[in-house]
Amino acid sequence: MTVRAVLVDLDGTLLHTAPDLAAAANRMLAELDLPVRKPEVVATFIGKGVPMLVRRMLPDTADEALLERALPIFERYYAEESGVRTEPFPGARAGLMRLRKLRLPLACVTNKPERFTRELLQRTEFAVFFDVLVCGDTVPRKKPDPMPLLFACERLAVAPQNALFIGDSLNDVVAARAAGCPVWCVPYGYNEGRPAATLDCDRLVADLDEAAQRIAALSS
């Protein structure tokens, strides 16, 4: 495998965003007079974008009218909560610094809307690492569709087979496989509550720093 670029997922791979998402989601439920959920349960709903997260937070009997009412409420609260408790995962900053020293172009590919993503990356001082940012509203379809990854490859001027995607979920693996990108996964992410060992990725790595070290070894 020849790695000419690296694509990185955000929630559950780069940043531990679940506490802020849970806080916003439970404030939404409270405003709707619905029972709140435990943060660890909310974490299993992360991965397919904000509309799906909100849908999963609502009761199974919720109709489209309630979803349309709930979505802007969540977004209002998440604008206040995003970044308050979010922290980088161990090895994330060191890994991106190591990849930068290898002079590899980097893209962040996430299902999170751009207005939240840009602010969060700037707030956590990760924005400087990325040459390209592909968010949930950048292209018409989100992961697990391959479109976001293919768009990132196009922007980075690299063939998909030479663009390594690093993620944490089945969502990421399915998108990478469909795009023709090799894919590595970290074990600490969300993956909708399923163990990372169940993922059909090319390699499990402890964190982004180990990933960067292995990429460096491939280049030597």
Same domain for 93 and 75? no
Same domain for 77 and 103? no
Report which of 116, 128, 96 is spatially closest to residue 14, judged by C-alpha positions.
Answer: 96
The predicted structure's pLDDT at residue 192: 87
In tens, the pLDDT along 173-206 reads 999 999 999 999 999 999 988 899 999 999 999 9
Per annotation, catalytic residue among 9, 11, 20, 172: 9
Same domain for 196 and 137? yes
Same domain for 103 and 117? yes
Same domain for 177 and 108? yes
Domain final residue pick, 81, 114, 130: 81
Same domain for 130 and 112? yes
Q: What is the extent of the structural domain holding 198?
A: 5-16+86-219
The predicted structure's pLDDT at residue 1: 83
What's the average model confidence in pLDDT over 149-159?
A: 98
Number of domains in the chain: 2
- Burial environment of residue 36 by CB neighbours within 10 A (0 to 12, 13 to 18, 19 or more): middle
Same domain for 115 and 151? yes
User: At 139, which CATH number?
Assistant: 3.40.50.1000
Domain final residue pick, 81, 96, 113: 81
Same domain for 32 and 100? no
Is 9 tagged catalytic? yes
Same domain for 116 and 201? yes
Per-residue CA distances from 106 to 58, 152, 193 (Å): 36, 9, 28
Domain final residue pick, 58, 81, 104: 81
The predicted structure's pLDDT at residue 182: 98
User: At 30, which CATH number?
Assistant: 1.10.150
Q: What is the mean pLDDT of the chain?
A: 96
The predicted structure's pLDDT at residue 48: 87
Same domain for 102 and 170? yes
Which residues are 8's β-sheet partners?
Answer: 108, 166
In tens, the pLDDT along 79-136 reads 999 999 999 999 999 999 999 999 999 999 999 999 999 999 999 999 999 999 999 9
Task: Tell me what percent of the residues of the chain surpass a pLDDT of 70.
Answer: 100
The predicted structure's pLDDT at residue 159: 98
Same domain for 161 and 174? yes
The predicted structure's pLDDT at residue 47: 85
What's the average model confidence in pLDDT over 44-54?
A: 92
The pTM score is 0.94
